Amino acid sequence: MRGIEVKNVSKSFKDTQALRNVSLTFEEGKIYGLLGRNGAGKSTLLNIISNRKYPNEGYVSVDGVPAAENDEALRKMFLINEMNLYPESMRVRDAFKVTKTFYPSFDEEYALKLSEMFELNIKKKIKSLSTGYQSIFRNVLALSVNVPYVFFDEPVLGLDAYHRDLFYRLLIEKYSEEPFTAVISTHLIEEVANVIEEVIIIKKGEILKNQSRDSILENSCTVSGTISQVDAYVSSLPAGAEVIGSDTIGGLKSVYICGDTGSRMPEGLERSAMDLQKLFIQLTSM
Ligand SMILES: Nc1ncnc2c1ncn2[C@@H]1O[C@H](COP(=O)(O)OP(=O)(O)OP(=O)(O)O)[C@@H](O)[C@H]1O
């Protein structure tokens, strides 16, 4: 089987259960958004996938091979996150060379080109880079490494709007030239909504949604009207529709619905599309 399979993974830290029986598949050549509130378990999941942390239960396999026991499987993956794997006194230019020794597919020339585009000073020591440039450094590595599975944990942390836009553009350009699996864990959902194809929403260590962005959005809506009209509509919804939240302002009410509401829309009620950020907030609010 191609792709990364996460099977029944659980992880606890003392009295905190960070992941509960998580099962997921990351298919080849797709861009995933891993979305969850602070402390939801995103980083723990990515660290377990890339073998930097060990699960209490469950396993991860890469293209059918258990990742934990196999260097070849591990080298098909690259994770960028705040854990800096390079000696802090190392210069950016030297870090590129070191990466090349671990990942022969790393394209140094491309990394140098990206450094110029981001104005990353390759002569600087990694520890002397600003927060934003630490992220840029990691993104340059991840975009140049050319392995099948790349995990970006908060890739735009500290980046200004120009650099965030540049990062997303380069990611899409790279992906269009040669598709790879990119998993982006982020809080900035509005920005990433147009980049990702698949959405994974994690809440308190459990997977709430794992679906394509388009099908999630097609199957969710907002319905607004007077409180009594909306309440009557909600009580007549078919079993496949789930109200995931509501807002009331004055005498008006909006409900947020996932699933099939059927085609009936009573007069006086307004139905509109829900965006990914709104859906995320409603699903993860409690
Ligand atoms: N080394 C650790 N020791 C103790 N608890 C930990 C450790 N690492 C993670 N946790 C806990 O596990 C839970 C999940 O943390 P994790 O960092 O995976 O969340 P996250 O979704 O990446 O959060 P954020 O978006 O805030 O970075 C949290 O409650 C966190 O406090």
Q: Whose CA is nearest to atom 25 of ligand 1?
A: 38
| Top-level class of domain 4-212 | alpha beta
User: For position 42, what pLDDT does the model report?
Assistant: 95
State if residue 39 touches ligand 1 by the CB under 6 angstroms criterion.
Answer: yes
The beta-carbon contacts of 169-172 under 8 Å, at least 24 apart in sequence, are 170/114, 170/117, 170/143, 171/31, 171/143, 171/195
Q: Which residues contact 211 (CB under 8 A, 6 or more apart)?
A: 198, 199
Phi, psi of 252, rounded to the nearest 5 degrees? -105, 145
Nearest ligand 1 atom to the CA of 46 is: 18
Q: Which amino acid is at 206?
A: E
Question: Is this prediction's ipTM beyond 0.90?
Answer: yes
When the pLDDT of each residue in the chain is averaged and rounded to a whole number, the result is 92
Is any atom of ligand 1 closer than 6 Å to the C-beta of 186? no
DSSP-assigned states of every residue in 136-186: HHHHHHHHHS--SEEEEESTTTT--HHHHHHHHHHHHHHHHHS--EEEEEE
pTM: 0.92
Please report, for the chain, the start and end positions of each structural domain, with discontinuous segments joined by +.
4-212, 219-284
Indicate whether 266 pLDDT > 90.
no
**Residues 68-115 pLDDT 10s:** 878 888 899 999 877 767 888 899 999 999 999 989 999 999 999 999
SS3 of residue 222 by DSSP? strand
Q: Kindly report, residue by residue over 126-146, the tens digit of the pLDDT.
A: 999 999 999 999 999 999 999
Given a cut of 80, whether residue 261 has pLDDT beyond it is yes
- Specify the residue with its C-alpha closest to ligand 1, atom 5: 13
Alpha-carbon dihedral sign for residues 280, 44, 101, 118: positive
| Nearest protein Cα to ligand 1, atom 30 | 39
Q: Is the CB of 181 under 6 A from ligand 1?
A: no
Whether 67 shows a pLDDT value over 90: the answer reads no
Q: Report residue 283 as tokens.
A: 């699903």
Q: How far apart are CA 115 and CA 126, in angstroms?
A: 13
